[in-house]
Structure 1
Amino acid sequence: MLPVLVFTFIHLQMAAGSTDILESLNFISNPIMRNAKKPDLTFTFFPDLLNYQANAVPVTEAQHPWIARVVHSRTADVPHMCTAACIAEAIFITSSRCIHYLKVNHTTIIYMSKRFDALAFVIPSKPTKQAFDDIGFIVVEDDKSVKRDWPVIQLIDSVNRTDESFAWFSELVSYKYKVVGYAMEKGYEHIPSQTDQFNLTELNVVVSMELCPKILKFINKRRSGFAVPCYHSCTLQEHEKNNDRCYNYHGVEGGAVIANVMGYNKLMGVATWGPYVPNYELPVGFAVVNSENFFEDFRCATKIRDDNGLLITKGYYQTLCNSG
């Protein structure tokens, strides 16, 4: 008997018709252009988040019905791995780092108080340095015979990613932001346990391109760089004055960074990395949901979800996503 192959990841290859997903999301119709200038990340290291919060506000799933937990078990609610957000029927996104070492056939999404088995993971075929800008997709199994609602969060769609040095990001900093996700209380982050309590919390934050380059260079004078999108509980000026707000913190893998756009919450990105020092709370880096990788992978995840099983054996989706 032939060995059973367990499908884990799809490394999506660029395919013809790549603008279809942009049009389907009503994304700004101007073509995505690539500027030759790139940020210098030579001396930049993007460490893992420790999944804790300090002084964040407890909230309920009813307030954010699109939020979800990723656990690495098909039967238990532990171990908790990361936070995810539902952006379309049976499609969730999180930090690519979170799912990189998980097994699909062990992974469950807990969403709307129900359990959904993972069907496939999609991760970028063109990863960024230490996955600082990488978003992972989880497609879950869905019994089509059962009618159900899929509360989703809309993606922010007001700005194209026109370059790789994040010059376009300046158009997004004026919104009011918060980050939402499942976190443990500060003080337990260095005591890993499968029974850790991760509760849903949120925190008001500010986003900026200045936070990480200036604060992290100050913390570690030997390094420069970090010129990527980040959020923090306070502004750079407040941080320099040691304002009390700066001791608030929320940093979890896959944490949803949401913007208030004309009274509606829209998903700006997901938390992907963040440094840690004992005496300070530092900015958190996040991936914005407007990269070519993101939209190509979204198209791939949609194909997997919509596959009827007639054209391809269940679990083997690489060819499906490579097709035009």
Structure 2
Amino acid sequence: MPVMQQQGATLVEDADLYPWAARVIHTYWTEYSKTSIPMICTAFGIQYRIYITAARCVYAAKPAHMHLRFGKSSTKVSVKACVTPRHSTKQLFDDIGIIVTWISIPGGEAAPWGPYLSQPSKPRTGESYWFQDWVSYDNYKVIGYIAEEKSRENHSLYVLDDMYGSNSVCNQHVPAQKGSQDYWAACVHSCQPHQHSSKRPPCLRYLLGLGHAVLDDKNELVGIVTWSCGNEPTALARRGGLPLPLGVAVPDDRYQQNLKCAEKVRDNLRDASLYYPGFLQSLCPPPNKVD
């Protein structure tokens, strides 16, 4: 289970202001109306019945044990399938996952028709997919749900404003191995890159949780937070409370392929998906073939 904590973030008093933000609950569907634990991450609606989150959130999850909850009314929608990248990174640390929901099930609510989170108008392509053309000033925010430590059934939506992005801070602070300088990933942090090794107040802010969205000043999706594991309480204590950057997966050409796969799974109406293992996988092309 990922650590969910915040320091210096702003509580969103009315979660309905962000109707495309959902909590991902991993509970068997016959019990899903009775409990909202455990919450494992945040997901965001981008199309009808399609939500994106961190791949690490769903790679070991069982769709039959999952449902999404929305807003103050806790509208509940059950999950049909999870799509993880065919060309994945090690342990899915830098990958986006996709959740496909059912239209409805007996006793549950119908999947909502929007609104949806705006996606980048120009998806990134090529081998440098993990990089992002960050602006040089704090123009980003991170938004996502966290579960309260004392009462895990209570989930609160937070926004962390005035965030910075870079392609180098993660390399400096989280090398792939000791002495290595080859770990490059897009990341966001609460102060400027050259300040991050200090203990200035802006650097001590954080919002921890998987699947949180990084948005620009137009509320358009920049990326999904895919790891913050170096910010659990013991790790923070070792660094005197200084949080590490948050790793961000940027939507790219690989992601577009996985999205097409999710759309085929969503649009499939055959009951075969319930009875024949591997049927949904057959709807998508193998890794070495692209539609």
Shorter chain as normaliser: what TM range? 0.7 to 0.9
Q: Letter of the aligned partner of 2:48 in structure 1?
A: E
Gaps of 5+ in 2: none
d(CA) in 2 for partners of 1:158, 1:50: 33
* Aligned partner of 1:302 among 263, 266, 269: 263
State the match for 1:117 in structure 2: 78
d(CA) in 1 for partners of 2:26, 2:18: 22
d(CA) in 1 for partners of 2:110, 2:41: 27
State the match for 1:234 in structure 2: 191
* Aligned partner of 1:180 among 138, 143, 151: 143
Secondary structure at the aligned position of 1:124 is classed as coil
The structure, 1 or 2, with the larger RCO (C-alpha pairs under 8 Å, 6+ apart) is 1
Note the 1:102-181 alignment, pairs <5 A: 102-112=61-71, 113-143=74-104, 148-158=112-122, 160-164=124-128, 166=130, 169-170=132-133, 176-181=139-144
1:268 Cα offset (Å): 1.1
1:101 Cα offset (Å): 1.6
**Contact 1:90/1:150, CA 8 A, preserved across alignment:** no
State the match for 1:23 in structure 2: none
State the match for 1:80 in structure 2: 39
**Contact 1:269/1:289, CA 8 A, preserved across alignment:** yes
Q: 1:173 to 1:77 in 2, by over 3 A?
A: farther
1:173 Cα offset (Å): 5.7
State the match for 2:10 in structure 1: 57
Question: Structure 1 length as normaliser, TM-score?
Answer: 0.73
Note the 1:281-292 alignment, pairs <5 A: 281-290=243-252, 292=253
d(CA) in 2 for partners of 1:116, 1:108: 5
d(CA) in 1 for partners of 2:60, 2:104: 27
Q: 1:288 to 1:172 in 2, by over 3 A?
A: farther
**Contact 1:123/1:137, CA 8 A, preserved across alignment:** yes
Secondary structure at the aligned position of 1:150 is classed as coil
State the match for 2:164 in structure 1: 206
Secondary structure at the aligned position of 2:81 is classed as strand
Q: 1:115 to 1:146 in 2, by over 3 A?
A: closer
Gaps of 5+ in 1: 1-47
Q: Letter of the aligned partner of 1:118 in structure 2?
A: V
Note the 1:20-59 alignment, pairs <5 A: 50-59=3-12
Note the 1:252-271 alignment, pairs <5 A: 252-260=209-217, 264-271=218-225
d(CA) in 1 for partners of 2:282, 2:129: 32
Secondary structure at the aligned position of 2:113 is classed as coil
d(CA) in 2 for partners of 1:271, 1:254: 5
**Contact 2:132/2:250, CA 8 A, preserved across alignment:** no
Secondary structure at the aligned position of 1:154 is classed as coil
Secondary structure at the aligned position of 2:16 is classed as coil
d(CA) in 1 for partners of 2:282, 2:151: 36
1:215 Cα offset (Å): 3.4
Q: 1:282 to 1:72 in 2, by over 3 A?
A: same
**Contact 2:134/2:166, CA 8 A, preserved across alignment:** no
Which stretch shows the higher mean deviation, 88-97 or 130-139? Answer: 130-139
1:61 Cα offset (Å): 1.9
Question: Structure 2 length as normaliser, TM-score?
Answer: 0.80
